[in-house]
Structure 1
Amino acid sequence: MSNAETVLELARSRPVTLGAGRLVCVDGPAGSGKTTLADEVAGLADAPVVHMDDLFEGWGGLPRVGDQLGTLLRPLAEGRAGSYRRWDWRGSRWAEAVLVEPAPLLVLEGVGSGALAHADLVTVLAWVEVPSDLRRQRGLERGGVGVAEHWQEWAAAEQALFTRDRIRERADLVLDGRLGLLGG
């Protein structure tokens, strides 16, 4: 069974937590393989994916992302559409508001998706990890030169969040972004 199938099977075996739907959060450090897993889960379930990268106010926005999650997830928990403002990375400014309708399954992907602020709404929290040298290589290949100058600062911010909210320790599944299921 693939990682995505494992995540989806676990989510479907649990009661709804997000209104009439379920919330799968795919968290872990930058470059670990979260987007790949989230896209695979969403493809299997025909579910929408919200990428945390769209919610951060630039490179320094990780500590404030909880505000965005509140306007997205709390309305969905009440059976109403949620929304968030999308960050325009090229323009370095907030762009349009994005409306997310209630769905049987929502996949929330990215650093901080498993934050404690909305833990009561999470059906499954999956943690994805790979060795730090591979994460850095993936991140730099994906993001280019602009990422390199921010990598250390971002890594420190994400580690602070992971430690504070004990995201890996709270995960239902710990997945290797290269190999598959490690434990959980």
Structure 2
Amino acid sequence: MSSADRVDLSQHARTLVRQALDRSSAPVVLIDGPSGAGKSTFADSVVASWPDTTVRLVRMDDLYPGWDGLDAASAAVHDELLGPMRVTGIGRWRRWDWTASQPAEWHEVAAGSPLVVEGCGCLSRRAAPLADLRVWLTADDGVRKRRALARDAGGFDAHWDGWERQWQRFVRREWPRLLADLVIDTTTTS
């Protein structure tokens, strides 16, 4: 993305942070959308725009148990992270070791600090009520495919079609865009 495009995302990020803090002193923000829509870049801008450094960022890429794990990671956001955080004050997530292709260590997340969760599948019907602000990023299909494949320098190429099928099933089942408080089209940011 060009610096002019980053400024645009930064403006959206500052607006989002203000809205989130208007809702809670320790808001939970979910940032979802299809692969290549700019979720990671936007989440980085949101974290950089936060007025203090206590904000936690959880990336779905760290939760997916392999290339077929979108549904499992989506369920884990509710079942292991956000649900327990609301009930007990402590949630957790388990990192997937992509190199070893196996589960790795657990990470605890305490309520009381802002939390941003970004990635495909975090905005489900079960997780949405547990968040203070829900964001949907979108982009033209051709633009997002070009971005995603370029970003991973060939590592995603063989998995694109399978991932896209999982993603489409998730969207048909969960209707995440309709759950969003804010929709941002990033087609022109790249």
TM-score bucket (shorter structure): 0.7 to 0.9
Q: Say if 1:170 and 1:67 are closer, same or farther in 2 by CA, change over 3 A.
A: closer
The aligned counterpart of 2:65 is 57
Summarize the alignment of residues 1-184 of structure 1 with structure 2, pairs less than 5 Å apart: 2-14=11-23, 16=24, 21-45=26-50, 46=53, 47-69=55-77, 70-78=79-87, 80-179=89-188
Between the aligned partners of 1:126 and 1:103, the Cα distance in structure 2 is 21
Between the aligned partners of 1:94 and 1:142, the Cα distance in structure 2 is 24
Between the aligned partners of 1:21 and 1:79, the Cα distance in structure 2 is 15
Between the aligned partners of 1:67 and 1:99, the Cα distance in structure 2 is 17
Q: Is the 8 A contact 2:84 2:91 kept in 1?
A: yes
Q: Is the 8 A contact 1:34 1:177 kept in 2?
A: no
Q: Is the 8 A contact 2:125 2:179 kept in 1?
A: no
Between the aligned partners of 1:28 and 1:67, the Cα distance in structure 2 is 16
Between the aligned partners of 2:187 and 2:113, the Cα distance in structure 1 is 29
Worse-superposed segment, 95-104 or 106-115: 95-104
SS in 1 for 2:37: coil
Q: Is the 8 A contact 2:71 2:121 kept in 1?
A: no
Superposition deviation, residue 79 in structure 1: 5.0
Between the aligned partners of 2:161 and 2:15, the Cα distance in structure 1 is 32
Query: Percent sequence identity over matched residues?
Result: 35
Structure 1 regions of 5+ residues with no counterpart?
none
Q: Is the 8 A contact 1:66 1:117 kept in 2?
A: no
Superposition deviation, residue 87 in structure 1: 0.6
Using structure 1 for the length normalisation, give the TM-score.
Answer: 0.88
Between the aligned partners of 1:7 and 1:166, the Cα distance in structure 2 is 21
Q: Is the 8 A contact 1:57 1:94 kept in 2?
A: yes
1:57 maps to amino acid: P
Superposition deviation, residue 122 in structure 1: 1.2
SS in 2 for 1:117: coil
How many residues get paired? 176
Structure 2 regions of 5+ residues with no counterpart?
1-9
Between the aligned partners of 1:146 and 1:49, the Cα distance in structure 2 is 23
Q: Is the 8 A contact 1:27 1:34 kept in 2?
A: yes
The RMSD of aligned alpha carbons is 1.8
